[in-house]
Amino acid sequence: MCLLSLPLLLFLLCAQTKAGEVIGGTECKPHSRPYMAYLQIGTSEGHQGACGGFLIRRRFVLTAAHCAGRSLTVILGVHNKNKKEDTWQRLKVVKQFLHPNYNSSTFLHDIMLLELENKANLTLAVGTLPLPPEFNFIPSGRMCRAAGWGQTSADEPASDTLQEVKLRLMDPQACKHFPNFKHNLQLCVGNPRKRKSVFKRDSGGPLLCAGIAQGIASYAHWNAKPPVVFTRISHYRPWINKILKEN
């Protein structure tokens, strides 16, 4: 499921082995991103994977569809994923809502809602993140932030703490080397002249622009060179609202 090679040597941003932080970023102040969710993924082969995600309702986490697995556990209130704190809330995922048009070959519609077994307790370390309205088509050039527990580069060792990085929204032409990139469905993120990006195991994490979750980390080039592709959340608001209303 994770670390699949794509036609142009792209990588999904989830991983089953290595972990670390975003590339060219800095460590977050502990619990300053209370919406962040750490996903533990159990696969049908018995392997353990991981992704990021973010809390949008007390019982729902938004993440990437390619982070689906045989079983999922969400941990909220995490800073160092290997150092349990009193802030942690470990919640079982009871239902995975993959977008019905998700394509595992092209990674279009790479979005998934997770329903939790119990409601999260909202605390200083655990909170929800607002989403954009349906017609909020954010323009290129905006500076945004991404966060996650992904690798520092294609070959750097792991780091356990939550990291964040500032990334610029690029013109869609910057992602023309990705054959399946669709500007109305996705965001092209990260200046190719700068070594700042998200990478493996950052999948499913949010792209924040002015405090609003505009994107979901989807895939990157194999060598971690930006730009990378995020799912454009505003396009999927009707689907998200439908799932939340019915559940």
- Per residue of the chain (247 residues), give pLDDT as tens: 333 333 333 455 553 322 233 445 677 888 999 999 999 998 766 667 889 999 999 999 999 999 999 999 999 999 999 999 999 999 999 999 999 999 999 999 999 999 999 999 999 999 999 999 998 889 899 999 988 886 555 556 546 888 888 889 999 999 999 999 999 999 999 887 766 556 555 789 999 999 999 999 998 877 767 898 999 999 999 999 999 999 9
Asked if residue 50 is part of any domain, the answer here is yes
Structure tokens given for 119 = 């409601």
Is residue 203 annotated as a catalytic residue, yes or no?
yes
Do 120 and 146 belong together in one domain?
A: no
Do 49 and 124 belong together in one domain?
A: yes
Host H or E run for residue 243? helix 237-246
Q: Cα(239)–Cα(241) distance, rounded to whole angstroms?
A: 5
In the set 110, 197, 221, 235, the catalytic residue is 110
Is residue 171 annotated as a catalytic residue, yes or no?
no
Do 116 and 36 belong together in one domain?
A: yes
Is residue 86 annotated as a catalytic residue, yes or no?
no
Kindly give the residue spans of alpha helices, DSSP state H, lying in the chain.
Answer: 237-246
- The tally of domains found in the chain comes to 2
In the set 159, 203, 218, 234, the catalytic residue is 203
Beta-strand pair 186-189/112-116: unpaired
Q: Cα(97)–Cα(71) distance, rounded to whole angstroms?
A: 13
Q: Which domain holds residue 242?
A: 32-128+237-246
Backbone angles phi, psi at 35, to 5 degrees: -85, -15
In the set 66, 79, 99, 109, the catalytic residue is 66
User: pTM of this prediction?
Assistant: 0.88
Q: Residue 79 maps to which CATH number?
A: 2.40.10.10
